[in-house]
Amino acid sequence: MAMKTYAIAAIPGDGIGPEVVDAGVEVLEAVAKRDGGFAVRVDRFDWGGDYYKKHGRMMPENGRDLIRKHDAILFGSAGHPDIPDHITLWGLRLAICQPFDQYANVRPTRVLPGITSPLRAVNGHELDWVIVRENSEGEYAGVGGRVHRGSPLEAATDVAMFTRAGVERIMRFAFRLARSRPRKFLTVVTKSNAQRHAMVMWDEIAAQIAAEFPDVKWDKMLVDAMTMRMVMRPQTLDTIVATNLHADILSDLAAALAGSLGIAPTANLNPERAFPSMFEPIHGSAFDIMGKGIANPIGTFWSSVMMLEHLGEPKAAARLMRGIEMVTADRRFHTPDLGGVARTADVTTAVLDAIHGANV
Ligand code: IPM
Ligand code: MG
């Protein structure tokens, strides 16, 4: 039988994106080889800010067609100091997420071995969350406009748009994910006290979908109070579902509480698999440290674990995750974001060694 080969589209993007994606590709290839049951073929696409400067757009017009047939996408980061952020975002990341209907953005948060949380309440206790971010509509729907530019009458709107279909599918996804985890517990984040239309519908649909999952316990939390609960009572949370913007903000808080934004992974999933899903570190382009060789590749490695799980390679995923945890446990391999002096290459080599080691 021919060995299964997964086609991966790598889009390193801007800033430290290329540094961490190169490291991620190395690790993916190594873990595939170590397990022997599958291979990866990586195609690189040089889209992003530099591409924009040459071509006036972040990716070619037929860009999506070039990656539509791939099994998964490994994304670095989009963002460039010379280009407005809304152009880099909408021209690349959202230009992939939205048409590929990657409506479930999954962001696991754990304090990995060797990492110190800034929370006193956490060290020595468990912090194990997964944030599910609605990733196709809400505050990021792109609905709105701007008129009378520059005049005193100038006006602008960004309309948060919620559809019944969009809310039902993300709630179902979140309840299902909560059910797959030991605590079977979901917290639905809302702001229905102030936002009396869409957020009230959001709450109603949550209650309706909850009835399909009698074995999952759930509660509801206003987003402002949620920030307090995350800091003060982190052990009371497990799976969390929130709107696009709420979860964007909460997931940065979550990443910081788990020790560093440099570690946090994310998966942009099309659960129906009609399109490839996209995996990326949360940290962004970090131009201040670009080219210095000190970017933390762990966020990309953990995102690669999520990719392997999605591809149906749980053994390889678990092996890579164990390798990551062995490396974070050793302070010699902490990059500056974790208070250490290690370089991207040191961390990558250590993870490669761990993958090849007998006990991983
Ligand atoms: C994230 C990021 C992006 C977002 C930025 C880069 C636009 O913060 O993935 O959380 O807001 O979606
Ligand atoms: Mg964010």
Comparing C-alpha atoms, which of 236, 239, 216 is closest to residue 225? Answer: 236
Query: What distance in angstroms lies between residue 132's CA and the mean position of ligand 1's atoms?
Result: 14
Q: How confident is the model at residue 124 (pLDDT cuts 50, 70, 90)?
A: low
pLDDT value at residue 122: 75
Asked if 168 and 205 count as a contact pair (C-beta separation under 8 A), the reply is yes
Would you say how long the chain is, in residues? 360
Last residue of some domain: 258, 282, 309?
Answer: 258
Judged by phi (left if over 0) then psi (alpha if -120 to 50, else beta), residue 75 lies in beta
Are 21 and 48 found together in one domain? yes
In the predicted model, is pLDDT for residue 147 greater than 70?
yes
Ranges of H-type helices in 127-271: 164-180, 198-210, 223-232, 244-257
Q: Are residues 84 and 215 in the same domain?
A: no
Q: How many Å lie between the centroid of ligand 2 and the Cα of residue 214?
A: 32
The tally of domains found in the chain comes to 2
Name the average pLDDT for the chain.
95
User: Rounded to whole angstroms, how far apart are CA atoms 143 and 75?
Assistant: 25
Question: Which ligand number lies closest to the CA of residue 139?
Answer: 1
Asked whether residue 112 is domain-assigned, the answer is no
The per-residue pLDDT for 3 is 83
Dihedral over Cα of 209, 210, 211, 213: its sign: positive
The torsion region of residue 114 among left (phi > 0), alpha (psi -120 to 50) and beta comes to left
Whose CA is closest to atom 6 on ligand 1?
Answer: 284
Q: Can you read off the two tokens belonging to residue 240?
A: 């969390």
Each residue of 284-340: pLDDT tens digit? 899 999 999 999 999 999 999 999 999 999 999 999 999 999 999 999 999 999 999
Better pLDDT: 358 or 184? 184
- In this structure, the answer to whether residues 244 and 190 fall within a common structural domain is yes
What is the rounded CA–CA span in Å between residue 327 and residue 351?
A: 6
pTM (2 decimals)? 0.95
Same domain, 215 and 323: no
Q: What is the mean pLDDT of residues 265-280?
A: 98
CA–CA separation, 73 vs 221, rounded Å? 33
Q: What does the DSSP 8-state code read for residue 318?
A: H
Same domain, 22 and 92: yes
Q: Other CB atoms closer than 10 Å to residue 29's CB: what's the count?
A: 16
Which atom of ligand 1 is nearest the CA belonging to 266? 9
Q: Looking at 202, 232, 258, which one is the last position of a domain?
A: 258
- Regarding whether 308 and 249 lie in a shared domain, the answer is no
Helix, strand or coil for residue 214?
coil
What mean pLDDT do residues 8-33 have? 97
Distance 220 CA to ligand 1 centre (A): 24
> Does any domain span residue 110?
no
Contact 147/155 with Cβ under 8 angstroms? yes
Q: What is the pLDDT of residues 218-265, one digit of tens each?
A: 999 999 999 999 999 999 999 999 999 999 999 999 999 999 899 999
Spatial separation of the C-alpha atoms in residues 257 and 321, rounded to whole Å: 20
Say yes or no: 291 and 350 in one domain.
yes
* Nearest CA-CA partner of 107 in 276, 253, 233: 253
Percentage of the chain lying above the pLDDT 90 cut = 91
The owner of tokens 């609960």 is 229
Residue 111: inside a domain, yes or no?
A: no
Which residues, judged by CB distance below 6 Å to any ligand atom, belong to the binding site of ligand 1? 89, 248, 282, 284
Whether 236 and 311 share a structural domain: no
Q: What is the mean pLDDT of residues 120-133?
A: 83
Percent above pLDDT 70 for the chain = 98
Q: Check whether residue 308 and residue 348 sit in a common domain.
A: yes
* Domain-terminating residue out of 198, 223, 258: 258
Say if residue 69 is in the same domain as residue 199: no
Q: Quick one: which of 332, 309, 330 has its CA closest to 319?
A: 309
Nearest-CA neighbor of 18 among 278, 279, 297, 342?
Answer: 297
Ligand 1 nearest-atom number relative to CA 252: 10
The CATH number of whichever domain residue 65 belongs to comes to 3.40.718.10
Band (11; pLDDT cuts 50, 70, 90): very high
In single-letter form, the type of residue at position 138 comes to G
> 121 and 254, same structural domain?
yes
Q: Is the pLDDT of residue 1 over 70?
A: no
The pLDDT of residue 359 is 62
CA distance 195 to 11: 37
Cα of 282 from ligand 2 centre, angstroms = 7
Q: Which residue's CA lies nearest to atom 7 of ligand 1?
A: 89
**Measured between alpha carbons, how far is 203 from 222 in angstroms, rounded to an integer?**
11
Residues with Cβ within 8 Å of 2's Cβ and at least 6 positions away in sequence, in order, are none
Whether 227 and 337 map to the same domain: the answer is no
- What's the mean pLDDT in 57-74? 97
Instruction: Name the pLDDT band for 123 (thresholds 50, 70, 90).
Output: low
CB 321 within 8 A of CB 288: no
Shortest-distance Cα residue to atom 4 of ligand 1? 248
User: What's the domain range around 5?
Assistant: 1-102+261-360
